[in-house]
Structure 1
């Protein structure tokens, strides 16, 4: 049975992409002489390698926002081309890995959920002024390549191997990993495989265990949703879609079911009619099949020795607070945040609160939220 733990593409819904030119030190309005002066103010070249004269922490101690900005922009100009702002595709483990880079600051790799949904719904523009966000289209989705065994073979283990191989191929030093829904399973597995080399985890709408009564509990929540909204078109569509899960065999059927299920994934779909309509219109899903194994990392999480932020929405019917509490209890360096007015999409339903929680966790509070 497929696990419906992620159901949206919201490209453009929560902010437009920033063009690469806007992220560079040199704009079309800046003279060559001013560019040279700015570069000399924040960088030096030693043995052909450009280095910053001041670490970010030193800029912060001096209280100079302008100097900090120049430092980050200087780093941006000399970053490897595979991590330059924009859209890229590189070969990883024999599969084309498509991704988008946007922002400034420490690296944070975002892995979407599903399985079978690309990264467009998970854009986090409020984080991009403080973090360099790297949004992966998971293999088999979006513009990324497919496995030779497609649609079979898309296990959590295979996704995690791809993620770790991408980090190595792109040369990303100590990234944060942010995984949503099924993507949270992937980043947890990646952290278990690689105890070192990661800065931290943002486990967003995840779980440590999907066996036992997991699907029965989700079915009960769906029944409760249908009862609360009895007689509405949304309730009828949700009930019909949930019942169709065992029979789904095509991308079209998968997409149709996820579109119909969207109201149940939100805290209150009536508060967001335009958002819901946009999600349903733009959602395209790819049917991916894993290994049929229950996800269970309960007895392994004690070995994860990096800080973790565990977040979810109060009204997330399938991966809500109960699952977050278990994760926070089992992860040695975990903190937890529950968003009271959110379902499965807190980054959309409570965008500012979600961004603030992540920025505080990464030690960069407030920069992206000024003026909002």
Structure 2
């Protein structure tokens, strides 16, 4: 029998008037539980459904706050879509939730924001969880593009993939077509997933159910993220400044943010645990859910609780 998780859904107004769609998982009217804020990836595409499915299992111990970032999902499509603005939104939500310190989790693009947040507001963090991310924007973009256009698992429009990974999409339809043609590369190869330990449960895959959510494809958000933000994103030489205990997880068969990027982050942050998921692609919480839960819970018990 699946335990019912008490969820509060809110519309929270930021300091500039932009409204964000927010969920808090776990009943705690007096806010006595520690707070965990989990960030989704793929600006303009992904939504809070991704971190909700990944971290809902913690709601008995933590208040798990997930939200659609501005420019994504059901939140306002109002910029600026910059790391600085997205960081300010996290700060506003932290204060709204009444927490002085919290755990910050970020997957894929959410990991970029988490790293930048840690360099600006490191004193606010009890811990960090990074999933399948990188520390250098230009190299990351070019690696992902190269892996996409050379993959024997895909048949893509190369010019369109150049547009999505460099942030010069024509429109929302161009964004949709660019995503749909590369979906298989986010999952591990079939011969690998067939060998994975069976968990007896079904988890959503990367971007699964996107059309059903009505969130749509917002190319303006994606273009800002990859044309403006990524060329300026390079925290490799500042990783040593991050003092919060950090868990880095990555799928062995992730071709968007390959293992060596996570290894670089783990080598740079002083207090880090790196966990490689041998049967996973870009989304270990979906590919190996039991191991992901065990790994995260072990880290939080040792470093935060």
TM-score (norm 2): 0.80
1:103 alignment counterpart: 26
Q: Is 1:242–1:261's contact at 8 Å kept on the other side of the alignment?
A: no
Between the aligned partners of 2:211 and 2:142, the Cα distance in structure 1 is 29
Q: Is 1:159–1:186's contact at 8 Å kept on the other side of the alignment?
A: yes
2:273 alignment counterpart: 335
- Secondary structure in structure 1 of the residue aligned to 2:232: coil
The structural deviation recorded for 1:248 is: 2.0
Does residue 1:300 correspond to 2:300, yes or no?
Answer: no
Does residue 1:260 correspond to 2:181, yes or no?
Answer: yes
Q: Is 2:203–2:289's contact at 8 Å kept on the other side of the alignment?
A: no
Structure-2 change in CA distance of 1:199 and 1:348 (3 Å): same
1:285-305: CA deviations, max 9, x gaps? 322014343310122221211
Between the aligned partners of 1:323 and 1:100, the Cα distance in structure 2 is 31
Between the aligned partners of 2:87 and 2:147, the Cα distance in structure 1 is 29
Between the aligned partners of 1:356 and 1:318, the Cα distance in structure 2 is 24
Find 2:50's aligned residue among 116, 121, 130. Answer: 121
Structure-2 change in CA distance of 1:241 and 1:263 (3 Å): farther
Structure-2 change in CA distance of 1:266 and 1:241 (3 Å): farther
Q: Is 1:339–1:346's contact at 8 Å kept on the other side of the alignment?
A: yes
1:133 alignment counterpart: 64
1:186-237: CA deviations, max 9, x gaps? 11111111121211000111111122x43332233224422xx3xxxxx225
Unaligned runs of 5+ in 1: 1-14, 21-84, 230-234, 366-372
TM-score (norm 1): 0.66
Between the aligned partners of 1:286 and 1:244, the Cα distance in structure 2 is 14
Between the aligned partners of 1:319 and 1:17, the Cα distance in structure 2 is 33
Between the aligned partners of 1:197 and 1:219, the Cα distance in structure 2 is 35
* Rg larger in structure: 1
Between the aligned partners of 1:126 and 1:208, the Cα distance in structure 2 is 28
Between the aligned partners of 1:16 and 1:241, the Cα distance in structure 2 is 42
Does residue 1:88 correspond to 2:14, yes or no?
Answer: no
Structure-2 change in CA distance of 1:179 and 1:154 (3 Å): same
Instruction: Say what the alpha-carbon RMSD is for the aligned residues.
Output: 2.9
2:148 alignment counterpart: 222
Does residue 1:158 correspond to 2:85, yes or no?
Answer: yes
The structural deviation recorded for 1:92 is: 1.5
- Secondary structure in structure 1 of the residue aligned to 2:122: coil
Between the aligned partners of 1:157 and 1:334, the Cα distance in structure 2 is 25
1:286 alignment counterpart: 218
